[in-house]
Amino acid sequence: MRRVLETLQPLGRALMLPIAVLPVAGLLLRLGQPDLLDIALLSAAGDALFSHLGLLFSIGVATGYARDGNGAACLAGIVCFLVATEGAKVLMPVPPGIDPALSKDAFAAAVAAAKSQAIGRLDVPIGIVSGLIGGNFYNRFSGMKLPEYLAFFGGRRFVPIVSGVAGLLLACLVGLGFQPIATGIDGVSHGITGLGGAGLFLFGLINRLLLVTGLHHVFNNLFWFVFGDYNGAHGDIRRFFAGDPTAGSFMTGFFPVMMFGLPAACLAMYRAARPERRKAVGGMFFSLALTSLLTGVTEPIEFSFMFLAPVLYAIHAVLTGLSMWLTDALGMHLGFGFSAGLFDYVLNFGKATRPLLLLPVGLVYFAVYYGVFAFAIRKLDLKTPGREDEDVAAPAPTSALAAGENPAGDTRGGAYLAALGGSGNLVEVSACTTRLRLIIVDHGAVDEARLKALGARGVIRPSDKALQVILGPVADIVSVEIREAMVAGPAPMPQVARVAGAAQGAQKMPLPAVLVEALGGAANLRGAARYGNRLRVELVDTAAIDAPALTAAGVRALGTTEAAAIHLLFAAADLDRLAA
């Protein structure tokens, strides 16, 4: 199970890049509609993004999976998506309901339009698969060497070519199997709809429970972008913006929780803090509550109590499910482009059904959350922020975190890098909306207390190599700063990893020409040995190495343990390819 979570972790992260476009799409679409600014240009621009979500997902997922986010992976994802969708249309059967008495040209146009609408219900899944192919093929084939007379098509140029071939296979799968695929989607969609309030309750409950692993993004996409159909618009979000009066069932229930419930939890945790600590944590709780109210970003709040009080988090998950059921039972239909915050509520007020009911429902949820949290914290003596033992470091002030500095005065990226065990302990560094998503060498080298002192709200270890650090909306910026700190200067390898590598698994390995050149030439090399996914290389002069060339060759991180030796960290597949 841990291996599955480690494999799926990059997908949850990669999905956030195209999803981040939705607020812009929703804003443009709504502002351009007749009940607001009535500007056709804005409405058309927003609709263009919603109409091409599959293409956006192919680009975003490919970027997230490519080891260095190179544009060749994005191009490969686009090529695969276009080949798959257009090829599938050719292989699809003629949709029923088209009048055969139409003229030849009219019949052909009607068939093309019907097939485009039919394939549209699968555009996001096809886009995700195309992105997976583009990103993973980039990691596998970007170093491909072809005979000299075909050398122009080698390396990164080979990736879109082979992705196009994969797109043909995907086109055959989708085109020839479209009818059973569509029938299966309809069956699941109707089955969930048939459950009524129970189905909505389960959706809300599972959504919050999956938050722990970060896989709720994968789960949400089925309901928000695939299930349901309204005049060619598929998924709850796209149907809502297309004007479907029944859309919003899988979004509305989040509004009472995110705008009222979790801010009330922040108030309860603040009032439960020790009197002498309230001033220290008050700014943090106010910031978290305001973020939840305005934008619907809630993870920093949830991780404040998720591991301290699992029962409390379970109650929160149940209350979310109940909110999904209650708002649907009251006939409320609200929608969002990003999340269930005040910004989306106000922007989409004119398209919503019975939106004013959110106020009384929200006030009830505010009271319930405040009462439950206040009682549980005091009754169970939960160590929520402000109630920790005296020797526990308090989180860094929000202002310092936002400014990119830490209490010691170092750069924020460097401070997080040190707390994570140095560059030699990091294999992959990326982020989603609120959390760093990392692949590391050794969990023992991570200083969790130091991470929390820097402002982390929680740490999750989905597997023996995967690590997630909950930071809030600044997560993506921090991930960039960490990568910049890694490039600025190699940090020491963590002691645990160094001892393990030196003690076992050493294999002599001749270095490929690309690494020899990047390491300063053959005259600069004394020897090299492989330890798992790491190379230890002894050099005459470490100053002669070409760091950008090493990165281009697939090196994820560079560490030093002694004056004349360096450690090059790779993804295992990349190192296997170089050794072949």
pLDDT digits (tens, 9 = 90+) for 143-169: 888 898 888 999 999 999 999 999 999
CA-angle at 496, arms to 531 and 8, nearest 5° = 70
C-alpha distances out from residue 286 to 159, 215, 281, Å: 48, 28, 9
What tens digit of pLDDT does each residue of 362-378 get? 999 999 999 999 999 98
Instruction: Name the pTM for this structure.
Output: 0.71
For residue 4, the model assigns a pLDDT of 58
Q: pLDDT category, 410, cuts 50, 70, 90?
A: low
Residue positions annotated with a catalytic role: 432
Rounded Cα distance, 77 and 59, in Å: 6
Rounded Cα distance, 234 and 242, in Å: 9
The top-scoring range by mean pLDDT among 112-121, 319-328, 400-409, 449-458 is 319-328
What the chain holds in terms of domains, given with CATH numbers, is 2-195 (no CATH), 196-392 (no CATH), 402-444+462-487 (3.30.1360.60), 496-579 (3.30.1360.60)
Rounded Cα distance, 99 and 90, in Å: 19
Rounded Cα distance, 69 and 191, in Å: 39
| Whether the Cβ atoms of residue 408 and residue 274 lie closer than 8 Å to each other | no
The tokens describing 261, both together, are: 């419930």
Q: pLDDT over 90 for what percent of the chain?
A: 39
For residue 494, the model assigns a pLDDT of 43
Instruction: Return the SS3 of 243.
Output: coil
Rounded Cα distance, 414 and 384, in Å: 28
Weakest-pLDDT range from 20-29, 80-89, 261-270, 380-389: 380-389
Determine the average pLDDT of the residues in 534-550: 81
Determine the average pLDDT of the residues in 567-572: 73
What tens digit of pLDDT does each residue of 488-506 get? 654 444 443 443 344 344 5
| Whether the Cβ atoms of residue 230 and residue 335 lie closer than 8 Å to each other | no
Over 80: is that where the pLDDT of 86 sits?
A: yes
What tens digit of pLDDT does each residue of 507-525 get? 677 888 888 888 888 888 8
Maximum pairwise Cα distance, the chain: 83
Give the start-end residues of each E strand in 425-552: 426-431, 435-440, 458-460, 466-470, 506-508, 525-531, 534-539
Weakest-pLDDT range from 43-47, 53-57, 122-126, 277-281: 277-281
The tokens describing 208, both together, are: 């919050």
Over 50: is that where the pLDDT of 44 sits?
A: yes
The helix (H) or strand (E) run that includes residue 300 is helix 299-305
| Whether the Cβ atoms of residue 218 and residue 293 lie closer than 8 Å to each other | no
Give every CB contact of residue 305 below 8 A, 6+ residues apart in sequence: 265, 269, 312, 313, 373, 382, 384
